[in-house]
Chains A and B, each alone.
Chain A
Amino acid sequence: MSDKFKKHIISVLVENRFGVLAHISSLFSARGFNIDSLTVGETEDSSMSRMTIVVTGDDRTLEQVDKQLNRLIDVIRVDDLTKKGFVDRELVLFKVKVSSANLKKIKEVLRKNKAKVFDEKNETLSVEFCGDSSQVEKLFKEISNYKLREMTRTGKLAIAKEK
């Protein structure tokens, strides 16, 4: 068994019911599993919700994550998308402080990364960006020299690729 700690993207289909999110989050804390991010929303069928959970662990931990999630009565299906092909996206909103000296440069970086400025006030750009993990990483690397004022992220959403 490999001892390598890896990030896994788990897609969990659950009953869209009161208390299900609490059940899942308390399972993760009770079993000592680490959640990197968790998103949840309704699916095409309003009686079901889908959670995308990013979790880090070795193979045995991930096997337990899968089995323990499946034990919950309200969990319909668990998929480790990391084992299949998948597409992931994350939405990031942030504000970056600008001055007349660097405004042009920052805008250029944002434009190249296809990040969209949706507001510009008080020497601050409000920006939205949607991309997969490598694109998000790349953007943050390139703007790391500038002053970020506030940031919020949705956490990863993922869906399996059609075969």
Chain B
Amino acid sequence: MKLSGAQILINSLIKENVEVIFGIPGGCLLPVLDKLYDCKEIQFLLTRHEQGAAHAADGYARATGKVGVCMVTSGPGATNIVTGLATANFDSVPIVAITGQVNTNMIGNDAFQEADLTGITRSVTKHNYLVKDVKDLARIVKEAFYIASTGRPGPVLIDLPKDITLEEIDFNYPKKLNLRSYNPTYEGHPGQIKRAAALISKSRRPVIYAGGGVIISGAEKELIKLAERNGIPVTTTLTGLGGFPEAHPLSLKMLGMHGSAYANYAIMDSDLIIAVGSRFDDRVTGKIDEFAPSAKVIHIDIDPSSISKNVDVDIPIVGDCKSVLSDLNKKINKKPNTSAWLKQIDGWKKTHPLTYEDDNKLHPQYVIEELNKLTKGKAIIATEVGQHQMWAAQFYQHIRPRTFLTSGGLGTMGYGFPAAIGAQVGCPDKLVFDIAGDGSIQMNIQELATVAEYKIPVKILILNNSCLGMVRQWQELFYDKRYQSTPLKNPDFVKIAEGYGVKGIKVTKKQDVIMALKEAIKTPGPVLVDFHVEGEENVFPMVAPGNAINKMMGGLA
């Protein structure tokens, strides 16, 4: 039987087990929307801005491990998801984005709502397609899901002209793919793994530096085994939080610019860094020339281009973290002697804990700590970008993978709220929070309408310091407190929430924090809590830009 391109698209999405599409309609999508009207398998979840749809698909993917899907119309609808694609691309999140496009015979003619999306998104997607023939559509959808979710995952865009969605042909969903040019390496080279095992056995001051790759490949158990069996401490990157339980005695928490002092001291003094699914980002290494001067480096990553990009690597191992760690665990015959090293690290933990002023004022860190106590580290936490993001990273105890959703690489303000929506849709039984700043929340605040309409019980916690806090902090520390364009004159967030039909709570005193959090958790629907926190609180420790990461500010060495 012949089916239209629109129907073929939907049938293909069903074949890929898609249950929800985040998106916004538009003219070029009309034939697809019309077919969705009769589709029972897939929900079209209407966001209020296309950026929200892209981040929601991202949050869904990060929380569930499945491919997130968003669908928007041509032109402005499509350009509005570019930030969402770039965010997902940077943090290796599998998304398939479907954009409407003008009719094929109009492409390039400056037609109404036309934009060259494959051109625009080339550098922020893992791959993209412009469908020029309806015969290719099913194959392209299958390839898109495969490419998005395998190897180093990432966003794939399908630009779909309207006339293609109307043409009719027979539908056959391909069973097999023929991608001769795309063969990700999953298994690590046995010789390299053997060399790595020998190097680990000989080390005295090893550190595991684990990134988002651990979570993506589901390598938590293998990582714990490597650490426990050999007595090796573990620090994680921002996107790696939850990849190793922070309650574990071997956890050093996060490293880098706002990492724990003991993680930074440990990595700088180490004689061996075992990098797993991480990429030596500049926020992690600080001044690269002075980074970990006596350390040899083993680098495990599925993306060869991440290896030896920023630091020289002694033993590169290209492969999937889970597979490589599992092989590596079998190959280490002799446990390294790390007892003196662990003792030294315990000393640093005692002398340099993460801390903040304990007084009667409402400090933002306190809100996070109390949230952690109430949720026992089991909630899904999405964040925006800025000071609140760093406090959420530092003061929430991350114990499970896929529970901390944050824009690590691109640093996208406005990410957290829609990502929380996506996570909640994917994990309806979990408690989902967006920890936000008063600046960030306003970048996608329109999604309050989405959570109200669909009764998505996301809890928004605004750590409101009436400024763009992270930039203000830099202005305070490095620009002589010249606060250019960082103070914010904010609306009444409670009233805004109420205007959308969402419950709003304002908290101005420390003693009201726990009550408000409990109230938010107890409320069945979405809630916004506006915490008026100390305005000039800073994120410490902090490595000033251009410094080695053991040179930290904030009452430390």
Contact = CB atoms under 8 A, between A and B. Distances in A.
Interface in B112-147: 118-119, 122-123, 126-127, 130, 132, 147
Interface string A1-33: 100000000000011001100110011001000
A102 interface: no
Nearest to B156: A73
A73 B305 contact: no
Nearest to A75: B181
A71 B132 contact: no
Nearest to B143: A73
A73 B147 contact: yes
Given A73-B126, A73-B179, A74-B181, A64 B305 contact: yes
Given A22-B122, A71-B303, A73-B127, A60 B308 contact: yes
Contacts of A130: none
Interface string B165-191: 000000000000001111000000000
Given A63-B308, A75-B181, A18 B119 contact: no
B512 interface: no
B231 interface: no
Which residue, of A19, A22, A71, A77, has the highest number of chain B Cβ atoms within 10 A? A71
A37 interface: no
A136 interface: no
Contact of B305 (A14, A23, A68, A77): A68
Which residue, of B127, B130, B181, B309, has the highest number of chain A Cβ atoms within 10 A? B181
A38 interface: no
B304 interface: yes
A73 B123 contact: no
8 contacts: A15-B181, A19-B130, A22-B122, A70-B304, A70-B305, A71-B303, A74-B181, A76-B181
A27 B126 CA distance: 12
B184 to A, nearest CB: 10
Nearest to A19: B118
B122 A26 contact: yes
A30 B305 CA distance: 15
* Chain B residues touching A, range: 10 to 19
Interface of A: 1, 14-15, 18-19, 22-23, 26-27, 30, 60, 63-64, 67-68, 70-77
B42 to A, nearest CB: 26
A71 B305 contact: yes
A67 B305 contact: yes
Contacts of B305: 64, 67-68, 70-71
A86 B305 CA distance: 26
Contacts of A22: 119, 122
B118 A73 contact: no
Contact of B312 (A1, A14, A18): A1
Contacts of B123: 26-27, 30
Which residue, of A18, A19, A73, has the highest number of chain B Cβ atoms within 10 A? A73
A53 B119 CA distance: 21
Nearest to A24: B122
| 7 A-B pairs with the lowest CB-CB distances in the bound complex, closest first | A67-B305, A76-B181, A73-B127, A30-B123, A67-B304, A26-B122, A73-B182
Contact of B122 (A23, A64, A75): A23
Contacts of A73: 126-127, 147, 179, 181-182
A75 B180 CA distance: 9
